[in-house]
Amino acid sequence: MNMLANITSSAVFGIDSYLVSVEVDVSSQLPAFATVGLPEAAVKESKERVTAAIKNSGFMFPSRRVTINLAPADIRKTGTAFDLPMAIGILAATGQIARQDFGDVVILGELSLDGSIRPVPGVLSMAVNAVKKKISAMLVPEENASEAAMARGVDIYPVKNLISAVEFLETGKSISAHTVDVSKVFESHRRSDIDFSDVKGQEHAKRSLEVAAAGGHNIVMIGPPGSGKTMLAKRIPTILPDLTLGEALETTKIYSVGGHLVPNQALIAVRPFRSPHHTISEVGLTGGTGLLLPGEVSLSHNGVLFLDELPEFNKSTLEALRQPLENGAVTITRASGSVTYPATFMLTAALNPCPCGYFGDPRHNCSCSPAHIQRYVSRISGPLLDRIDIHIEVPAVKFKELSGDAVGEPSEEIRRRVNKARQIQLERYKDRQGIYCNSQMETNLIRQICKIDNDSLNLLKTAITRLGLSARAYDRILKVSRTIADLEGIENISTAHISEAIGYRNLDRNYWQ
């Protein structure tokens, strides 16, 4: 006599998820355990975890043939989230659970050998999809409960072991639905231990970072070791506009899928700041391991990607940045499939002016030959630099500024101005799909939005003629000028705005000559 049970579970593909039917058949044949439906190694290994968990929780494991089908069977299944639904399905098929209809609840979790339930990645994506599919409830590991509860519209029930899961499915009374106060989550995560007031001097650099944050512009800083480039970069998230709930959910989904969420963390409530080492590979930067997990560019989504010592990165790795910088997304294609992850970030880079770091420094002698400097600089391709709107020099801080008692402007004040400028841009682009800040304007939109008078045009013409700027640099200057005007709340771009924007193109001025 065959016994059958059908449990609804979920799996992720990219940052989205889909429902999976865990069909369990227990038949009167020689004892065996087979899993079908394109399971990966971790799914196949669930046989041992499920068997031990059922026995160690005081239930009976059938001495019969157990066949489990994961449908749809044409999509490869990865991860350990199917352990709990498999165990529930076996207990239901053998009559050890009175309940037989599980269609209105999604069940997921990894089982330990003693029957306790471990957290799994991607739960927020699964909960969001459950809301779309009008699922009424989800059984999730305790450590994933806060994360899943961010998806409003489905009841989240945290379970700590197989026994409590069975009791809840039979009675529905042993566990209360888990809820999260979103406002408290945002408030608790937005406190920062770093601030722009910590930075001594560097007023020009701080102003340029404010402009970059206001318009979402990519920026590169050039300066000797110890001038404060990294210190400045780490404080950029403190002046960026606060994350909206939609942005926070999307960012959290990426971190959840990649397994980067801290246990019991409900939400990524602050803009990410990622600073990979220069030895990172192309796969590490863009993503695409065997499991198609997100890379650093996607983990930086809605935040900042900081590349320190830019010329030290592998050239092919840097070239891989061109797609996400242009499209705001990165597509990963491997033999196991193809996924697209969002990757809209503010690129911030830093480099020394030469290998020794002291080219042009009046207080130190540069030991690099012109050939060494040329090789160092040539590691950064022109097309990549063309995608960076602002180039600034960060000189060494004078001792007088370091030892002074003056306190810099706090991040809160700078962020207030940045928020006002961003609100102007949101209103300007409200009818344009996918554009929310000045850095995202394409050429045709620049011509409409960034109109300038004759005096500004002549100034721009003179600068381009003398500096030999490319057409792309011309557009970058106009976009940055628009942001500077927005920071001042002025509708029309003036010569002062153009002049300041030209001053942010240091690498176009034969810097190394």
Tokens representing residue 478 in the block: 């106009």
DSSP string covering 107-167, please?
Answer: E--EEPTTSBEE--TTHHHHHHHHHHTT--EEEEEGGGHHHHTTSTTSEEEEESBHHHHHH
Whether residue 87 is found in the same domain as residue 202: no
Reply yes or no on whether the pLDDT at 150 is more than 90: yes
Neighbour count for residue 206 (Cβ, 10 Å): 18
- Residues 136 and 267 placed together within one structural domain of the fold: no
- Say what the pLDDT of residue 511 is: 57
pLDDT at residue 485, as a whole number: 97
Which of 146, 171, 196 is the last residue in one of the domains?
A: 171
Whether the predicted pLDDT of 42 surpasses 70: yes
**Predicted pLDDT at 334:** 81
> DSSP E strands: which ranges in 337-422?
337-342, 346-351, 390-393
Give first-to-last CA distance, the chain, whole Å.
Answer: 86
DSSP for 253-313, written as a single string = HHHHHHT-SPTT-----S--EE---TT--HHHHHB--TT--B-HHHHTTTSEEEESSGGGS
Q: Kindly state whether residues 159 and 257 are assigned to the same domain.
A: no
**Is 273:230 a contact under the CB 8 Å cutoff?**
no
Looking at residue 509, what is its pLDDT?
61
Q: Do the domain assignments include residue 480?
A: no
> For 237, what's the count of Cα atoms within 13 Å in the CB-facing half-sphere?
25
Pair 199, 293 in one domain: yes
Query: pLDDT tens digit string along 165-178?
Result: 999 999 877 789 99
Query: Do residues 165 and 206 both lie within one domain?
Result: no
* pLDDT (tens digit per residue) in 394-451: 988 875 566 566 678 999 999 999 999 999 999 999 988 888 999 999 888 998 999 9
Q: Residue 513: pLDDT band by 50, 70, 90 thresholds?
A: low
Q: How many domains does the chain have?
A: 2
Q: Are residues 200 and 127 in the same domain?
A: no
> What is the average per-residue pLDDT within 303-327?
93
Q: For residue 111, what is the domain's CATH number?
A: 3.30.230.10
pLDDT tens column, 202-259: 889 999 999 999 999 999 999 998 889 999 999 999 999 988 889 999 999 999 999 9
Residues 221, 121, single domain; the answer is no
Q: Do 41 and 164 belong to one domain?
A: yes
Cis peptide bond prior to 383, omega within 30° of 0? no
Q: Are residues 199 and 164 in the same domain?
A: no
Rounded CA separation 191/126 (Å):
29
Model pLDDT for residues 51-90, shown as the tens digit of each residue: 999 999 999 999 999 999 999 998 889 999 999 999 999 9
Q: What's the whole-model pTM score?
A: 0.91
Do 221 and 333 belong to one domain?
Answer: yes
> How many CB atoms sit inside 10 A of residue 64's CB?
20
CATH number of the domain enclosing 312: 3.40.50.300
76 with 192, same domain: the answer is no
CA geometry: angle at 334 spanning 330 and 339, to 5°? 40
Amino acid at 297: V
User: Can you give the residue range of the structural domain that contains 88?
Assistant: 3-171
